[in-house]
Structure 1
Amino acid sequence: MKTLRDRVLEEALRNAVEHGGKAVAKAVLSKILGSEPALRQRVAEVKQVVEEVVEEVNSMDLGVQKRVLAEKFGGQEPMRRRDVGETRLPPPLPGAVEGKVVTRLPPEPSGYMHLGHALAGLINEHYARRYGGKLWLRFEDTNPRKARLEFYESFRKGYRWLGIEWDFEKNNSDDMESYYMYAERMIREGFLYPCFCSSEEMHRQRAQGIGCKHRGLVGEAGLETWEKALNRVYGEGEVSFRLVGEMSSPNTALRDPVMFRIVDHPHPLKGREYVVWPTYDFAAAVQDALCGVTHVLRSSEFAFRDELQNMIRGILGLSNPVYVEFSRFEFRGATTSKREIRSLIEEKVVSGWDDPRLSTIEAVKRRGILPQAIREFTLTYAGVTQAKKIFDWSLLHSINRKHLDPVARRLWFVASPVKLRLINHKRAEVEVPYHPSTNMGKRVVKAGETLYISGPDAENLGVGEVFRLKLLTNVKVVEKGAGEVVGEVVEGPPLKDGRIIQWVSEDNRRVKVIRYGPLFTEDGSVDRKSLWVEEGLAEAAVETVAFEEVVQFERYGFVRRDSPDELRFVYCHD
């Protein structure tokens, strides 16, 4: 049964194809309500779904709309296949000077890399290379409680996997002495003061626009407290150092934010060498200037911080970059929030950072998504726009399929297998190519009187029906019982009509396929049953599939081998 969103998506795609690539929300809403009058009781909900889906559909080009319609809903026009690697370039970069552009990859090593990082990274790399500039990899690691060595490496591996090459690498934690120098200067000049308020009191002040009673502790008084903090006189939460900002500003980020705080926790790179750590805003503001970053390209959730970081640089006499914001990249039914992912892992809802229901790079690699597909998706369809986008996985899958089709071997597999016993069948050998159009070699499959077909195929067969076993023979069903179908070989040419059924011989191997659906339902709740294991039988040649290789189980879908020791696969897509 189709969900509301699926019904809306189908109608929006049809409307868009009919109107040259642009769906009209009012027309889609009218069609949905007209075809299902019961939905008129939920018009507000339906309208919201329509608006979201129409925005998503209109972000696709016409060719993609046609292909998704054809593949997902049986539309008549297939998508024009782009050449592999063909992209539609993002718009020019404002203020860019050839050879002078400097962008950055600024991950916080507090979790594993996810698709949001990948898409943002590809955009930053694209502009650096487009203008003959430079690209930094800079770890924002000034929260020692969150940073872990494995997370640094996750980003390095992830960016390399995507084909991103950076020119320079550094850690924000490498410049602690520079931060301290700037902090002392700001205290001396009256721009930074020590605050002894609790976090609750500080939150109240900032929410109400009330200045802190410690605001006057600048100059020598502030420096004395600063030295004590550096010498570990204070513990966590006892003192912080706040910017003298603008308490009346409508941008709450400017209301005397904390610039330095005490974090008494070992750092994965610096150990216990430091205890007073800069906050994200202070470190990022300084680093963008020190690295000579000309353009900050990032998701719009950070936009309210631009003014604060410019204020910090203004006080210190440092240059400001050009900001280019784009909407946060999200995929339906998944989350890119490291905090949410960490919580899901701790609650054992998912098995780890590489659970295939997640949007981490390790998860999408397990799903068989290729780096070139992510690159094409980013530069051609995601792009640089502030319009909120929640992408359906089917768009990325359609691009990935285009890249997999020419290179993935085909193998035979049947899910939920049922025995097929053939009467009057002579043992035969079938020569089967590994790919229908590319020369990848062949294998010989031996077929005796006992074969196996999939459970759904067996269930749909009727006694007396004649069908074709792929590349083998015609068969008439003479009997159906529990767990077995008995068929009689019918001599003659392949059937012109009638069904063609996939099969495997007795020389097979038992295989497990990890299947999954959206982790989050439409109402935002977690679907704890969204991952399951499907068992089946594959031909003996399945043992030649290498660990992490993607193949296509014919008439089933693309799968990726998930274990070097077991015949366990993860389903990719159809």
Structure 2
Amino acid sequence: MSPCTLSFWDKNPPLAAVSITKLSALPLEIKSDPKGNKDTAHCLTFPSGDQFVGSSLILRYLARSAPPELNLYDAEALGATQIDYWIDYSVKNVAAGANFEAVCHGINDYLALRTFLVGYNLTVADIALWGQLQVGTMWLKVKAKTPHLSRWFDHVAALPECKSTVEELDLSARRKAIVAADGSADPKKGGGDTGSFDIGLPGAKMGQVVTRFPPEPSGYLHIGHAKAALLNQYFADMYQGKLLVRFDDTNPSKEKDEFVENILRDIADLGLKYEKLTHTSDYFPQLEDLGERLIKSGIMYADDTPVDLMREERMAKIESKCRGRSVEENLRIWQEMKKGSDEGLANAMRLKIDMKSENGCMRDPVTFRCNQTPHWRTGTKYKMYPTYDFACPFTDALEGVTHALRTSEYKDREEQFYWILKAQQKVWPGLPDVHIWDYSRLNFIYTLLSKRKLTWFVETKRVEGWNDPRMPTVQGILRRGLKIESLKEFILSQGASRNVTYQEWDKIWTINKKNIDPVCPRHTAIEAPDRVSVTLTNGPSELEVVTVLRHKKYPPAGKKSQLRLSKIWLDQADAQEIKEGEEVTLMDWGNMIVKKIHKREGSECISSIDAELFLEGDFKKTKWKLTWLAQVDELVELQLSDFDYLVTKRKLEDDDLFEDHVNNHTRHDRTAWGDSNMRTLQKGDIIQLERKGYFIVDEPLTKPGKPVVLFSIPDGRERKAFPGAPAQGDAKA
């Protein structure tokens, strides 16, 4: 087809039409009409000057121009007429108005027992309806009420062509513009699969909200940090404000360049769009100046009480003997702390707040302490460092942060944050206020999210490193096969709730399956141990090569070669299920009839099978659909790796010693042989092994004799322990 031009009004983008051209690889130029308005129809202009005006006509033309194998338009009269009906219905009825919700409920009922609108595969009818829903704002309010329509919508929206169309036409920005212009949707309500974000940020003004994500470079980011990062991004975007990223590098004993580099990598993977990147260490001079001002004001003092005794006195609400030191004495010791002298090392600076407070965080918290470990960024320039609790209010205010979001586990520190900020404002005029909003921490069953505990697993070699697929780090779960869009979808589905819950991992993996299943290529593998040789007496004596789609419902996944021969392999488990005389189906080939089953002497293990092809047989009538591979030298050696949780207790309590619940059997590797097409797989590719599940390539084929390593990707179904793994429970592994 010759290149055409599709023009449209900016607030009514042709999502369906553009998505179809992407699916079909059709040439198309899209152009927004600067003079357009709500009455401007989509217009497809041909090089000849001919035009098709109106969405229905354009969609029919594009679908009929698509490659026949896509089946976007039915060749039969009945199917084509049904598709025409849904195109017209979508364009005319699925639009904002009083009847919109009723229309959605009607379609929801229609889809209750259907995967697609027409027939058994995706057609232009599905894309037309998706485009109408996606472009409007009312769908966000109805989606949760229509589960069948929502399920169907998510499936179509997950197509890469549909996703990229939405991104290219900047629909998220367009919706914000519509919201700002006419208030047709409330941005605080979230949308799609998001949870509630109607939290009423105090003092929030459109265009003026500044949030921040302050990671400490003492480890890699885990999924809890990902929630914090994405929520801060979400609120910055919601209010058309800014996101700042600031490394909280106030403890040189725990910080490394490695952690900084990998946190930056994680931030990039999460797609954070921040205004600027800073470090608390950028403000060390100002923080020292601030400390001196607070000493002179009489509210900060030096204390050489031993750490253990200081802790006991705070618990008992007993004031330190050093609380009454003079300003002059405190300033003298302050200088010793800056030099890192013996006297300085023995002291810490504390604020005079309220040692009788019921809130332990208000009992004269420490603000500065000495540390002679070289700082990852400033080296040995400083010998004294501020605590996070002291530095955070100041750096937030200094950088113009309007809203500090943090987990509710720090709720008792909120009073301290505001008190310290007020004290700092008194001696540093002009510091603005900062509002705190707390949300629930992300907790998962059988999972530790403490950096200290995760560091223990790394240092004791229980895992390969911070990016091990058993670790709940961003890099770990991405390496395991979680797509970044699945992570984002899960996080936003949680909303900004303050309710503390323990999440099941099944939920996030179910979301991931929904995103990968429609597009990932299919391959075949036969497990190496006890594989069964099958002789097809009437099979091809010479090797036959047949080209098939890697994904029958998603042609863009490409094609692969299927090798057919009279000698094939079956899995031992499959061979155990079939009986002599039974007709079974060889997937993507045809049926065969089992003639004779041979077992090893003195064993139930099957060694070989004699069978004959019965290609005229009906695959719909067979009980077993079996995967198989021709017995050729081109098969690829595989290592299939399964993983279990690092701990055996579902929910660890505060008084539990996590070391008592460590799972000692967390990885199981098994060998297999894959089809020859797997030689071209690259690291990070996600595939489905037919009837075995989803896998991500961790190590591709690099040299003969070294297997391709595939990590299993959970699919959200009930997890079964692999061989050798202990049963789940509270007992020690």
* Alignment TM-score > 0.5, same fold: yes
d(CA) in 1 for partners of 2:144, 2:383: 52
Distance of 1:446 and 1:266 partners within structure 2: 62
Partners of 1:423 and 1:100 lie apart in 2 by 73
Alpha-carbon distance between aligned partners in 2 of 1:171 and 1:423, rounded to the nearest angstrom: 69
Of residues 439, 443, 467, the one that matches 1:326 is 439
Helix, strand or coil: the match of 1:562? strand
With 402-411 and 163-172 compared, the bigger mean Cα shift is at 402-411
Aligned to 2:182: none
Equivalent residue for 1:499, pick from 615, 621, 624:
624
- Give the Å deviation of 1:63: 7.9
How far apart, in 1, do the equivalents of 2:326 and 2:258 lie?
Answer: 40
Partner of 1:385: 497
Contact conserved, 1:463 with 1:480, CA < 8 A, in 2?
no
Q: Aligned partner of 2:535: which letter?
A: L
Name whichever of 371-380 and 139-148 sits farther off: 371-380
Matched with 2:213 is: 105
Match of 2:235 in 1: 127
* Deviation, structure 1 residue 423: 3.6
Q: CA RMSD in A?
A: 2.1
Equivalent position SS for 1:541 = helix
Find the counterpart in structure 1 of residue 599 from structure 2. Answer: 481
Q: Is 2:307 the counterpart of 1:182? A: no
State whether residues 468 and 501 of structure 1, in contact with CA within 8 Å, keep that contact through their aligned partners in structure 2. Answer: yes
Q: How far off is 1:347 after superposition?
A: 2.1
RCO higher in structure (CA 8 A, sep ≥6):
1
TM-score normalised by length of structure 1 = 0.84
Identify the residue that residue 385 of structure 2 maps to in structure 1: 277
Q: How does 1:484-563 map to 2 (within 5 A)?
A: 484-491=607-614, 492-495=616-619, 496-507=621-632, 508-522=635-649, 524=652, 525-563=661-699
CA-to-partner distance for each residue in 1:474-502, whole Å, 9 max, x for gaps? 23331132452313114232331311001
Distance, in Å, in 2 between the alignment partners of 1:364 and 1:499 is 34
Distance in 1 between residues matched to 2:671 and 2:553, nearest whole Å = 29
Hey, what does 1:14 align to over in structure 2? Answer: none
Aligned pairs (5 A) from 1:188-267: 188-234=296-342, 238-267=346-375
Cα deviation for residue 113 of structure 1 reads 0.9
- TM-superposed CA distance for 1:115, in Å, is 0.7
Residue 185 of structure 1 aligns with an amino acid whose one-letter code is R
Alignment of 1:22-421 (within 5 A): 79-80=151-152, 82=154, 83-84=157-158, 86-88=192-194, 90-92=196-198, 93-95=200-202, 96-234=204-342, 238-317=346-425, 318-380=431-493, 382-416=494-528, 418-421=531-534
Instruction: Give the total of aligned pairs.
Output: 503
Residues of 2 paired with 1:484 and 1:237: CA distance?
74
Provide the secondary structure at the position in 1 that maps to 2:630.
coil
CA distance in 2, matches of 1:287, 1:526: 39
Task: Summarize the Cα distance change of 1:553–1:236 in structure 2 as closer, same or farther, 3 Å threshold.
Answer: farther
- Distance in 2 (CA, whole Å) between partners of 1:191 and 1:487 is 90
Q: Which digits, 9 at most, give the CA deviation of each residue in 1:1-46, with x for residues without a partner? A: xxxxxxxxxxxxxxxxxxxxxxxxxxxxxxxxxxxxxxxxxxxxxx
The answer to whether the 8 A contact 2:337-2:345 is kept is: no
Does the 8 A contact of 1:194 with 1:239 survive in 2?
Answer: yes
Q: Is the 8 A contact 1:115 1:359 kept in 2?
A: yes
CA distance in 1, matches of 2:380, 2:305: 25
Larger Rg: 2
Looking at structure 1, the residues matched to 584 and 433 of structure 2 have their Cα atoms a distance apart, in angstroms, of 71
Give the stretch that moved more between structures: 477-486 or 335-344: 477-486
Q: Does 1:459 align with 2:576?
A: yes
Report the residue type matching 1:452 in the other structure. Answer: W
Whole-angstrom CA distance in 2 between matches of 1:63 and 1:391: 24
Aligned-residue offset at 1:78: 11
Displacement of 1:554 after TM fit? Answer: 1.6
Aligned to 2:714: 573
2:571 and 2:446 map into 1 onto residues whose CA distance is 29
Q: Which runs of 5+ in 2 are unaligned?
A: 1-142, 164-191, 426-430, 601-605, 653-660, 716-733
Instruction: Say if 2:227 and 2:491, in contact at 8 Å, map to a contact too.
Output: yes
How far has the Cα of 1:407 moved from its partner? 2.7
Distance 1:488 1:90 in 2: 59
The CA deviation at 1:89 is: 5.7
Q: Distance in 2 between matches of 1:293 and 1:423?
A: 72
TM-score (norm 2): 0.66
Q: Deviations over 1:145-175 (max 9, x none)?
A: 1111111122211121121111011000111
Tell me the distance in 1 between the aligned counterparts of 2:610 and 2:506.
Answer: 38
Quote the offset at 1:218 in angstroms: 3.8
Structure 2: how far apart are the matches of 1:89 and 1:392? 17
Q: Which letter does structure 2 place at the counterpart of 1:94? A: L
